[in-house]
């Protein structure tokens, strides 16, 4: 009987561990990802000598939006691969059921 319980535990433990690790995976982008997203959306790096105060404010606002709204990795990936922030944002809003 005890051997059966041990065997069952050995079979179940990896599954439970995998489920726990997946549950802990962050789904929303973090600060660095949002900063990179905002720079791509503005088409300007914060390290650029061409950065203006207006562009810096735009990057800061987009970073804040990314962190405080339910932006997801699919949106960030879209902008990174297509370089079309407006189209990706429109697609994101449709996907989550929001207009504008």
Q: How far is the CA of 93 from the CAs of 45, 72, 90, in angstroms?
A: 25, 11, 5
pLDDT at residue 84, as a whole number:
92
Q: Does residue 7 belong to any structural domain of this protein?
A: no
Q: Which residues constitute the domain of residue 75?
A: 31-96
Q: Does residue 2 belong to any structural domain of this protein?
A: no
Segments of the chain with pLDDT less than 50: 9, 16, 21-22, 100
pLDDT at residue 81, as a whole number:
94
Decide if 42 contacts 53 (C-beta within 8 A).
no
pLDDT at residue 74, as a whole number:
93
pLDDT at residue 12, as a whole number:
59
Domain count, the chain: 1
pTM for the whole structure: 0.65
Q: Does residue 9 belong to any structural domain of this protein?
A: no
Q: Does residue 18 belong to any structural domain of this protein?
A: no
Q: Does residue 58 belong to any structural domain of this protein?
A: yes
Q: Does residue 17 belong to any structural domain of this protein?
A: no
Q: Does residue 86 belong to any structural domain of this protein?
A: yes
Q: How many CB atoms lie within 10 A of CB 73?
A: 14
């Amino acid at each position: 009987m005890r051997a059966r319980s041990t065997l069952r535990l050995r079979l179940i433990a990896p599954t439970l561990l995998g489920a726990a690790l997946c549950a802990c995976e962050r789904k929303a982008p973090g600060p660095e990802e949002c900063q990179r997203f905002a720079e791509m959306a503005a088409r300007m790096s914060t390290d650029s000598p061409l950065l203006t105060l207006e562009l810096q404010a735009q990057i800061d606002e987009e970073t804040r939006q990314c962190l405080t709204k339910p932006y997801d990795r699919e949106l960030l990936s879209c902008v990174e691969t297509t370089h079309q922030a407006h189209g990706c944002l429109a697609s994101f809003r449709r996907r989550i059921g929001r207009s504008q």
